[in-house]
Amino acid sequence: MKFLAFAFLAGLVSALGFAPLGLWPLTLVAFAALLRLIETAPGLRAALARGWWFGVGQFVLGLNWIATAFTFQAAMPAWLGWIAVVLLSLYLAIYPAAAAGLAWRWGRAGSDRLMLVLAAAWIVTEWLRATLFTGFAWNPIGVIWVGAGGIAGLAAFAGTYGLGAVTILAGGALYQLARRQWLRALASAIPVLLLALLPLRAPPPDSSRPLLRIVQPNIGQEEKWTPTFAARNEARLGRLSRGGNPAAILIWPEAAVTDPLQDGRRFPEVREEVMATRAGVRRLILGAPLLLTGGITVKSADGRFANGATNSVFALTPERILARYDKAHLVPYGEYLPMRPLLSAIGLSRLAPGELDFDPGPGPRTIALPVAGRVGFQLCYEIIFSGNVVDRNDRPEWIFNPSNDAWFGAWGPPQHLAQARLRAVEEGLPIVRATPTGISAVIDSGGRLVASLPLGSAGAIEARLPAPLPPTPFARFGNILSLAFASLLAAAAIAVRRKSR
């Protein structure tokens, strides 16, 4: 039992490397402890249990922001949020448990083999976590390296999941130091230390690039559905949008416009409401060449009754709607209610108000727009899915990632930003984030912050859009490279085993 408690504690410590704390050396110590726990496990079941409790600790602390989302839904008690965090962590911990079990089965005969097999297994299990059952890719362990120079730059070659393997190899170096295996520790640590000294690659600033004005109104989720919201939102959006250079492309957050901008119902009063909403938006953006904003649509198969909706991004000029992107990777319980007949019957509902579930869009798209160029869109947490954020057959010049992080407490927004920065490194593309309460940011194609607005503040960012890099290896091949790295690590473990024999 004491080993399971220690595994849980090590998992808690490993989560301290995530934003907002960023104590990544402690994450390495935690993985060194996990390697020790796996190596000393008396059997496969013990190794699985230790990996599982490690995962529970990591996810309970790292995902604590999920509990905050339940405080905005009157139909659900706030304490249910912590039950949701624990239940989700109990499920997600299956993946670290599987990695620990594989490491015990195939690598326990020596520290070199153990860390190689665990690193390879961690790549595969994190990829599976992001893929199975719609996937939940939040906080891959490699995200701790954001801001750590060339270490984060490895994501352009091996992806985020490959970067997670580097984390385990670095933790393995600490474990070997603790065992006084000096040469082995140096062989593991020196490549990581050298990479940390390398700068991230990105094009220099270019004054000819389009000018952006990103608006952060700082209207929280608790205010969004109050009777006075529309007037306050319009006033604040208008004030922040009209300041500065009138030639800038305006950028608003997810769901900045809460009334439908498009509605398939053909009733005259519905059409009048939609036209009034569009007219109100046009008043706010007069003088701007283009607005990119989050909004919603309502679908109707017969023109009379609403039978669906989409969470969307709209590209508008003061005259018309140019294009629309519909979010494809929807959040269970947030944007749709799984098993709706059953869960509705026991009084549960979506966290976001509304009776209609959102319908998914077709996936990543690139849309050519005047002034803005070729834009890719990823709405809210779609940006966390490594290898699934752009149309690889139609590469954009930059990615727009509007989000509503007002749900996410104090830990969620900086974690979301860190994961967006890794997508920029992987794809070699700048990313522009707009959120209602922060953290809004302009990220260059090397993953560096060009400009940002802190959490809980109102304001606007005016900055030039950074230039893209040529396609990175990851942009060309995606997570095939991560899985190939896992195969290489597994092959190295086999070679080490044969040499020892």
Per-residue pLDDT tens over the stretch 183-202:
666 666 666 665 665 666 77
Higher pLDDT, 187 or 2: 2
Q: Residue 270's pLDDT is what?
A: 82
Q: What is the CATH number of domain 211-465?
A: 3.60.110.10
Cα–Cα distance, 20 to 105 (Å, whole number): 35
Quick one: which H or E segment has residue 214? strand 211-216
pLDDT tens readout for residues 357-385: 778 889 899 999 999 999 999 999 899 99
Task: Classify residue 419 as exposed, middle or buried by CB count within 10 Å of its CB (0-12, 13-18, 19+).
Answer: buried
Active site residue 380: yes
Report pLDDT digits (tens) over 75-93: 556 667 788 889 999 999 9
In this prediction, residue 228 has a pLDDT band, given cuts at 50, 70 and 90, of low
- Structure confidence by residue, pLDDT tens digits, 200-225: 677 888 888 999 999 999 887 666 65
Active-site annotation holder among 126, 380, 397, 426: 380
Q: How many helices (H) and strands (E) does the chain have?
A: 17, 13
Residue 483 clears pLDDT 70, i.e. is over it: yes
Of 39, 126, 299, 327, the catalytic one is 327
Higher confidence at residue 62 or residue 329? 62
Q: Where are the domains of the chain?
A: 2-201+478-500, 211-465
The total of other beta-carbon atoms located within 10 Å of residue 306's CB is: 16
222 counts as catalytic? no
Other Cβ atoms less than 10 A from the Cβ of 126: the count is 27
* 239-293 per-position pLDDT tens digit: 888 876 777 899 999 988 888 888 888 888 888 888 888 888 888 887 788 999 9
397 is catalytic: no
Q: Which helix (H) or strand (E) holds 117?
A: helix 111-129
Check 126, 254, 335, 397 and give the catalytic one: 254
Residue 464, pLDDT score: 94
The pTM score is 0.91
